């Protein structure tokens, strides 16, 4: 292996192959990471300002092992590059050489992952046991290619640029490391000492403390604010909901009066009681040990580094957008030093209180689809919870809606949930412009999935306006937003067991709904009769995948034979009309 930069094209030329050792973690990139990389690549290779320079993906560390290389560091990036290859080969065939029929990348002792990749690469129609994270990543890449480029020529040019110019360097470690865990440990320790493996917010914590006199106090604030897996004010078992809300309102009021130390004391003291129990006062009872959010890291909508970036952005009035939040945290701090560290810590506390009180959080275990909110004054608490949940699952970037919401809450008090919901709707409306004609919202035009989530919210909010039974309203009322991403055709694309529709009708907005990827795989190209049976089962269990799909089912009078083109057209007109009216929020 040479020391110059490598591209997918160069890997093919040198006939290199790679393995991911068993001790390396599974592929874990989420949608935001994948789409962030794709936007970076698209911006870099944009013809209007492309200067021919490579796009650098960083350094990958490996060890020679027989006729291949074991990836020691960089396995996440190499895996996502493989997923990119699977999609981009449809636009630039040279990517097939990179995939090499599934032999370019192998997972040591992970048979299912190897079988999954081989099946997808070789075009196997059905994958028995798909890797969920890889399947989601592949879907994100496919959707990106359809929605972000308007012509096939543009897609081909992008696919070729990535193949020839996406670049990285390899750091080849001594072969002796492979059989010497101690040497590998020293290597990782050296990376950590250099800041590569250490979390950037931990490095920032140290740098913020430098030169400060009250390090102990600042550390206590940091430790309270950084744990987004628990509320900053603990709810005592004896607290009624109103009492608990009052604690938050009092702490936020103290911050508005610049009494930050008192506000922090209120937060900190809520946890002090954990350590003040005498052994004799502890009730003996069986404990139910469940995985906590501290372990899963899934309580908050955003991570602590994202929260830090947002507070720096707001505190220094930087007006940060997509490119700002794509930067590394330490780079942001280097570019925008914080003059008054104490005031910054006070604002961290203030914004964390606002986040906890006014923004929804996930409750239950990591697989639960439940949300709750502390702020409940007024008549729109449930609607506020649903709308924020909709924005979260729709992958609307947090800095586009959460940042301006917290910024306004920081400056002024909101009267009740009715007014806060109105604020957020105004922000969201400014971010999304409804297509002028429903004919633009088709599957083959790469319809923005946001419209399905938004429509489901307004179907939930305005269910009383539809001719529904009380039971049907109750089924809709219990709908919970999920991060569904698969677009389902109720009348299937393959029509062997159904009436024959024109492609224009099959791909039109009226025939589409959004469901989970796993459910979509289950549906496949099943006939309408089977799909209707599944919708009926969802309704019976009060566990809808999509309110829009449920309305399609009801509009067809719950009968597969009732889903005709004219019924679809009437449903489509009704749904688009609701989206139009949703912008009238006065």
What is the SS3 assignment for 103-161?
Answer: CCEEECCCHHHHHHHHHHHCCCCCCCCCCHHHHHHHHHHHHHHHHHCCCHHHHHHHHHH
Residue partners of 75: CB distance under 8 A and separation at least 6: 20, 24, 27
**Are 191 and 73 a contacting pair, CB within 8 Å?**
yes
User: What are the backbone dihedrals phi and psi of residue 93, each rounded to the nearest 5 degrees, phi first?
Assistant: -65, -20
Q: State how far the alpha carbon of 76 is from the alpha carbons of 24, 134, 137, 403, 441, in Å.
A: 10, 11, 12, 29, 34
DSSP conformation class of 74:
-
Q: Are 301 and 398 in contact (CB under 8 A)?
A: yes
Q: Please write down the long-range contacts of 148-153, taking CB distance under 8 Å and 24 or more positions apart.
A: 148/38, 148/42, 152/91
pTM greater than 0.95 (yes/no): no
Instruction: Please list, residue by residue across 450-468, b when 16 or more beta carbons sit within 10 angstroms of its beta carbon and e when fewer do.
Output: bbbbbbbbbbbbebeeeeb
Q: Return d(Cα 463, Cα 476) in angstroms, integer.
A: 8
Query: Along the 586 residues of the chain, how does pLDDT read in single tens digits?
Result: 555 689 999 999 999 999 988 767 778 888 888 988 898 899 889 888 788 888 888 778 888 888 889 888 888 899 999 999 999 999 999 999 999 999 999 988 788 888 889 989 988 766 667 788 899 999 999 999 999 998 999 999 999 999 999 988 887 877 666 665 555 555 555 554 444 444 678 778 878 887 888 888 898 999 899 888 889 999 988 889 999 999 999 999 999 999 999 999 999 888 864 444 443 333 433 433 333 333 334 688 898 999 999 999 999 999 998 888 888 888 899 999 999 999 999 999 999 999 999 999 987 644 446 899 999 999 999 999 999 999 998 888 899 999 999 999 999 999 999 999 999 999 999 999 999 999 999 998 889 999 999 999 999 999 999 999 999 999 999 999 988 778 889 988 876 766 789 999 999 999 999 987 665 545 555 778 888 998 999 999 999 999 999 999 999 999 999 999 999 999 999 999 999 999 997 6
Residues with Cβ within 8 Å of residue 372, at least 6 apart in sequence: 360, 361, 363, 385
Alpha helices in 290-370 (DSSP H): 293-296, 304-315, 322-325, 329-335, 341-358
Residues 6+ apart with CB under 8 A from 409: 354, 358, 420
**Residue 363 to residues 162, 177, 262, 274, 384, Cα–Cα distance (Å):** 40, 44, 29, 21, 16
Measure the CA–CA gap between 492 and 484, rounded to whole angstroms: 19
Report the distance separating Cα 586 and Cα 584, nearest Å.
Answer: 6
Query: Can you give the length of the chain in residues?
Result: 586
Q: How far apart are CA 430 and CA 144, in angstroms?
A: 22
pLDDT of residue 43: 85
Instruction: Report helix, strand or coil for 43.
Output: helix
What are the tens digits of pLDDT across the range 385-416? 999 999 998 888 899 999 999 999 999 999 99
- State how far the Cα of 191 lies from the Cα of 576, in Å rounded to an integer: 54
pLDDT, position 1: 57
Q: How far is Cα 543 from Cα 125, in angstroms, rounded to an integer?
A: 29
pLDDT at 174: 74
Letter string b/e over residues 547-581, b meaning 16 or more CB atoms within 10 A of that residue's CB: bbbbbbbbbbeeebeebebeebeebbeebbebbee
Closest-CA residue to 131 (of 417, 580, 517):
517
Predicted local confidence at residue 221, as pLDDT: 94
CB hemisphere CA count around 188 (13 angstroms): 10
**3: phi > 0 → left, psi -120 to 50 → alpha, else beta; which?**
alpha
Taking phi over 0 as left and psi of -120 to 50 as alpha, with beta for the rest, 59 belongs to beta
Nearest in space to 161 (alpha carbons), one of 95, 78, 75:
95
The pLDDT of residue 330 is: 87
- Residues 316 and 319: their CA atoms lie apart, in Å, by 9
Identify the pLDDT of residue 236: 87
Give the rounded distance of the alpha carbon of 370 from its chain centre.
16
Alpha carbon distance 256, 236 (integer Å): 25
Q: What is the DSSP letter of 434?
A: P
Cα separation, 410 vs 499, in Å, equals 57
Cα(160)–Cα(165) distance, integer angstroms:
8
Contact 447, 514 (CB under 8 A): no
Cβ-proximal residues to 524 (8 Å cutoff; 6+ apart), any chain: none
CB contact at 8 A, 431 and 401 = yes
């Amino acid at each position: 292996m040479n020391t110059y930069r490598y591209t997918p094209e160069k890997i093919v030329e040198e006939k290199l192959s790679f393995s991911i050792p068993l001790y390396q973690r599974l592929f874990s990139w989420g949608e935001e990471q994948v789409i962030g990389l794709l936007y970076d690549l698209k911006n870099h290779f944009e013809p209007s300002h492309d200067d021919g320079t490579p796009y650098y993906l960083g350094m990958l560390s490996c060890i020679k092992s027989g006729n291949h290389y074991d990836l020691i560091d960089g396995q996440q990036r190499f895996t996502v590059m493989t997923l990119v290859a699977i999609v981009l080969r449809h636009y630039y065939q040279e990517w097939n050489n990179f995939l090499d029929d599934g032999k370019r990348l192998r997972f040591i002792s992970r048979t299912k992952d190897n079988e999954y990749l081989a099946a997808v690469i070789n075009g196997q129609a059905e994958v028995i046991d798909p890797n969920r994270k890889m399947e989601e990543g592949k879907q994100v890449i496919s959707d990106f290619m359809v929605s972000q480029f308007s012509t096939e020529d543009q897609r081909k040019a992008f696919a070729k640029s990535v193949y020839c110019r996406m670049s990285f360097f390899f750091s080849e470690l001594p072969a002796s490391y492979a059989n010497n865990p101690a040497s590998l440990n020293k290597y990782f320790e050296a990376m950590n000492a250099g800041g590569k493996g250490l979390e950037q917010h931990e490095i920032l914590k140290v740098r913020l403390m430098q030169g400060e006199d009250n390090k102990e106090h600042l550390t206590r604030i940091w430790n309270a604010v950084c744990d987004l897996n628990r509320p900053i004010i603990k709810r005592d078992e004896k607290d009624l909901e109103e009492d608990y809300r009052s604690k938050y309102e009092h702490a936020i009021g103290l911050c508005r009066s610049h009494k930050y130390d008192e506000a922090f004391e209120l937060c900190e003291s809520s946890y002090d009681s954990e350590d003040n129990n005498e052994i004799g006062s502890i009730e003996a009872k069986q404990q139910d040990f469940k995985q906590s959010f501290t372990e899963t890291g899934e309580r908050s909508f955003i991570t602590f580094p994202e929260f830090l970036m947002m507070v720096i952005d707001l505190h220094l009035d930087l007006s940060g957008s997509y490119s700002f939040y794509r930067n590394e945290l330490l780079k942001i701090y280097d570019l925008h030093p914080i003059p008054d560290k104490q005031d910054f810590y006070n604002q961290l506390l203030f914004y964390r209180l606002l986040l906890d009180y006014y923004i929804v959080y996930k409750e239950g275990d990591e697989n639960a689809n439940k949300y709750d909110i502390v702020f409940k004054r007024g008549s729109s608490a449930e609607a506020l919870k649903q709308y924020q949940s909709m924005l979260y699952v729709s992958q609307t970037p947090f800095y586009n809606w959460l940042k301006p919401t917290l910024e306004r809450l920081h400056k002024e008090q909101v009267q009740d949930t009715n007014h806060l919901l109105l604020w957020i709707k105004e922000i969201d409306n400014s971010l999304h412009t409804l297509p002028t004609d429903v004919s633009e919202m088709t599957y083959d035009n790469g319809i923005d999935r946001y419209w399905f989530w938004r429509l489901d919210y307004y179907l939930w909010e305005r269910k009383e306006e539809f001719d529904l039974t009380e039971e049907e309203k109750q089924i809709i009322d219990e709908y919970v937003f999920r991060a569904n991403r698969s677009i389902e055709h109720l009348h299937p694309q393959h029509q062997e067991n159904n009436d024959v529709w024109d492609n224009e009708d099959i791909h039109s907005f009226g025939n589409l709904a959004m469901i989970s990827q796993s459910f979509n795989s289950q549906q496949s190209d099943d006939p309408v009769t089977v799909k209707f049976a599944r919708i009926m089962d969802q309704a019976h269990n009060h566990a809808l995948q999509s309110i829009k799909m449920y309305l399609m089912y009801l509009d067809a009078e719950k009968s597969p034979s009732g889903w005709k083109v004219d019924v679809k057209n009437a449903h489509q007109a009704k749904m688009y009309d609701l989206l139009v009216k949703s912008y009238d929020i006065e």
